[in-house]
Structure 1
Amino acid sequence: MTTGYRRAADYLSSLLAESDLDELAARLRPDTGPPSPHVPGAALVTPEAVERRWQILPPSIEREDLLDARTRQQMALYGHNIENFIGTVKLPVGIAGPLRVRGLFAQGDFYVPLATTEAALVASYSRGAMLISEVGGASAMLLNEGVSRSPAFAFASLEELGRFVAWLLGEQESIRQAAEATTRFGRLVDLRISIEGNHVYLVLVYTTGDAAGQNMATIATEAAVAWIREHTPVPPRAAYIEANFSGDKKASVQSLQSVRGRKVTAEVRIPAELVRRRLHTSVEAMVDYGRFATVGGVMSGTLGIEGHYANGLAAMFIACGQDAACVAEAAVGNTRMEMTGEGELYVSVTLPNLIVGSVGGGTRLPSQQACLGLMGLAGTGHGRALAEVAAALCLAGEISIVGAICAGEFTRAHARLARGARE
């Protein structure tokens, strides 16, 4: 994380052109004056609590932009999803599709809701989705499931640690029972151990039914850690419920190689004539570009090789009530493009970290429930299908963006849709 000498010098010169060093330094010193009023009401979502919060906000803000009549009517529904509630933010929602999916769990044509402020995004994913549908759909297969938490324990020595691990290996059934007692749907399916000096990291892996399962795994792990601390013959010097080893909400090599959430792969074959007619390029050009993109990704040190999974996943996550921060890990994966022996374009995507669910969390909110509903994927029984649709959506986006770059249309599409009508 270095900065070049010339860039640093230019930046300093630009600062000193407006202020001297003493004034700049003064800006960085603590201000010991009284802070602004605290936000009242904490987790209360009532008209009275919301009104008290609005009283401390600038009067220039138009309240109806955040607290419109519909939001006031439904505010009680947000009580389990937000603190210090003052209203809702509206984002434009478009639909990409039809996207035909032929999965183990997702079957049919889907119009996928995407909430975004980025013009050209929905158009791109919709173009890829329609092309996939035209050739019979994307084959999609859920491969694995598992949401993890990584508690850690510190000991005075390797001897203490060794005695602890020896005891722990005989207690996996008791640990499982303690964890699963907190949940109706979660199941502890794996417990892995990693040792570093006199510290031991555990990775507890859960299946979580139709929920994304982050909170479910956290609560279950809290119970497991409490049981371990109560029963171990070698008390740890310190214990933590999460020691940054699970890959939670960050890209990691571990989750790329295994699973965190739901692992899905999807593929499609597109005849050369359709590549030419719909994408205005050739199979050869797209495969050649894929090689460039792979080498570029390796040289830049990316985890996985893909074009823009994050675009589609972020828009879908927001629309469908998923945890948007999980895009940090969900957008890690691999795209592969090849020419088949018949001259067709073969494209596959593999995403090992799709943290998605059809129940729980933000899926219960009115707009998000409606977005899941328009795909027929709201509620119990649809978590796995939602993951397969998400993978197929990423497949559509990869086909479209590579086609646009190869056809020389990438910049023109953004200029026309994102800027042309406004400037």
Structure 2
Amino acid sequence: MPKLNLSQNGTTSIFEQGPDTDKLEQLLEPHFERPSLRLTPSPYISEKNLTKRWQKLESLTDQDALLDEQSKTNAELYNKNIEHFIGTVKLPVGIAGPLRVNGLYANKDYLVPLATTEAALVASYNRGAQLITAAGGASAMLLNEGVTRTPVFAFERLADAGQFVAWVVTQYDHFKQVAESTTSHGKLHDINVNIDGNQVYLVFEFHTGDASGQNMVTIATHKVFHYILEHAPIEPREAFLDGNLSGDKKPNTHTLRHVRGKKVSADVHLSRELVKKYLHTTPEKMVKFGQMTTTGSALSGGIGVNAHYANALAALYIACGQDAACVAESAIGMTRMEINEQGGLYACVTLPNLMLGTVGGGTGLPSQKACLDILGLHGSGNAKALAEVAASLCLAGELSIVGAFCADHFTRAHQKLAR
């Protein structure tokens, strides 16, 4: 293996003992011969395509590990969810709960399915859920919702951009009609304008009903985008459907104060006795931990402050057919703990980027629908409740992990359950 020589300032200088120059050039040269491995021309699922794909794969792995009988039986169901299908990956699914949620939309005890390969994760959320339930439940409130797409237009000069914006602000009703002609569920809710010199970013914000809504919003905005190109009094020099202002699948600071998806806050009051019984620590210790780690988060350049929202959301999203890549933005938010008037612990979380739904996407696939059925939240009318459950689950996880660090049980739990 080549050995890296690091200079004093930490930058890589040159291979200290690597291959000779000719060998290095040969290794890194581009090669243009025909690939020995090829996919089927059609990306769709059919018995013929599956057979052809596995003819190429059978020498690499056991077909039954990915394409078992249930995967074969349900193969046609996946046609709208994946291309070049070869089977399914099985992940262990555990249950945390009961988690009592006292929300505007979620208002009962929930058993929460979590799909993960990380030992101790379900145990931690289960402990937090039981603690919250023993305290009477978490209060949860959906604060706002909206899914965005942000086309960008470039002009020759600022004056042209100004004329373009002057026209745009008169077109809301037209844009709304065009956008909503593409969907029976999506509603154009708002348009914001951002000018950066000769470039204009338009932020189209939609309400998407019970769907997560990324595809719905993309299709609707695309229709408006082309309406703009055809009717704008000033022709843009360049234009693109998305200018990367939406924060789609990327952590960003903008939505900490706004929304993308569903914005939810959840809180709970815990007596001193419950903190001691379930977490084996004190409210004072947990508040001090929160103060010191908030400073650590700021020093590291973190966006928001939380211990591990991503653990809850990744496991919940995978189990329930959500777009797992949205964890990149959904796992941003604020956790806060303080001593309440009774000397117990007050804890709250606010998550402004919960991208989730109960219809569409992967929510109707057999295993994922089964997990939503366990929650009682599959189908229309349930997305807002799912968002409140997700926030309450994150609250449970924050309490459990902070308690584990304060009681010095974090490592012990992983050693016990992960070995």
Which range, TM-score by smaller chain?
Answer: over 0.9
Structure 2 residue 101 is the aligned partner of structure 1 residue 101: yes
Amino acid aligned to 1:318: I
Structure 2: tracts of 5 or more residues without a match: 1-5
Residue 410 (structure 2) aligns with: 410
Residues 98 and 192 (structure 1 numbering): CA distance in 2 closer, same or farther, change over 3 Å? same
Matches within 5 A, 1:287-298: 287-298=287-298
2:366 is matched with which residue?
Answer: 366
Quote the offset at 1:160 in angstroms.
Answer: 1.6
Q: Tell me how far apart the structure 2 counterparts of residues 10 and 410 of structure 1 sit (CA, whole Å).
A: 39
Q: Which runs of 5+ in 1 are unaligned?
A: none
Give the conservation status (yes or no) of the 8 Å contact 1:187–1:206.
Answer: yes
Determine if contact 1:43/1:79 at 8 Å carries over to the other structure.
no
Q: Runs (4+) of structure 1 moved beyond 3 Å? A: 3-13, 19-22
Task: For residue 57 of structure 1, report the CA deviation from its aligned partner.
Answer: 2.0
Equivalences, count: 414
* Residue pair 1:91, 1:117 contacting (<8 A) in 2 also: yes
Q: Is the 8 A contact 1:114 1:315 kept in 2?
A: yes
Q: CA deviation at 1:9?
A: 5.4
Is 2:394 the partner of 1:379?
A: no
SS at match of 1:117: coil
Residues 185 and 296 (structure 1), Cα distance of their counterparts in 2 relative to 1, 3 Å cut: same
Q: Do the aligned residues in 2 keep the contact of 1:334 with 1:351 (CA within 8 Å)?
A: yes
Amino acid of the structure 2 residue aligned with 1:164: F
Question: Matched residues in 2 for 1:103 and 1:194: separation?
Answer: 35
- SS of the aligned residue for 2:363 comes to helix
Do structure 1's residue 332 and structure 2's residue 367 form an aligned pair? no
- Alpha-carbon distance in 2 for matches of 1:338, 1:361: 39
- Structure 1 pair 200–369 and aligned structure 2 pair: CA distance change class (3 A): same
The aligned counterpart of 2:395 is 395
Any conservation in 1 of the 2:289–2:406 contact (CA below 8 Å)? Answer: yes
CA distance in 2, matches of 1:47, 1:355: 34
TM-score, structure 2 as length reference: 0.96
Equivalent pair of 1:41/1:84 in contact (CA under 8 Å): no
Aligned counterparts of 2:382 and 2:96: Cα–Cα separation in 1: 19
**Which aligned pairs between 1:62-81 and structure 2 lie closer than 5 A?**
62-81=62-81
Other structure's SS at 1:55 match:
helix
Partner Cα distance (1:161, 1:395) in 2: 45
Percent identity for Structure 1 against Structure 2: 54
Asked whether the equivalents of residues 211 and 356 of structure 1 are also in contact (C-alpha less than 8 Å), the reply is yes
Cα deviation code 1:18-75 (max 9, x no counterpart): x345433432221222113431143311111111111222514100000000110110
C-alpha displacement of 1:79: 0.3
Q: CA separation in 1, counterparts of 2:204 and 2:38?
A: 38
Q: Give the secondary structure class of the aligned counterpart of 1:36.
A: coil
Residues 1:279 and 2:272 are matched in the alignment: no
Cα distance in 1, alignment partners of residues 148 and 42 from structure 2:
30
CA deviation string 1:145-176 (max 9, x = no partner): 00000001111122221111111111111011
Which residue of the partner structure matches residue 181 of structure 1?
A: 181
Mapped to 2, the partners of 1:137 and 1:275 lie a distance apart of 14
Aligned-partner SS, 1:361: coil
Distance, in Å, in 2 between the alignment partners of 1:170 and 1:376 is: 44
| Corresponding letter in the other structure for 1:96 | A
Residue in 2 aligned with 1:268? 268
Q: Match for 1:410: what amino acid? A: F
Q: Partners of 1:161 and 1:6 in 2: how far apart? A: 45
Cα deviations by residue, 1:165-224 (Å, 9 ceiling, x for unpaired): 111111111011101110101011110011111110000000000000000000000011
The answer to whether the 8 A contact 2:104-2:142 is kept is yes
Paired residue for 1:256?
256
Partner residue of 1:306? 306
Q: CA RMSD in A?
A: 1.4
Distance 2:152 2:93 in 1: 42
Q: Is the 8 A contact 2:144 2:263 kept in 1?
A: yes
Aligned-residue offset at 1:256: 1.6
Find the aligned partners of 1:348 and 1:29 in 2 and give their Cα distance. Answer: 55
Q: Deviations over 1:334-368 (max 9, x none)?
A: 00000011101000000000001000001011100
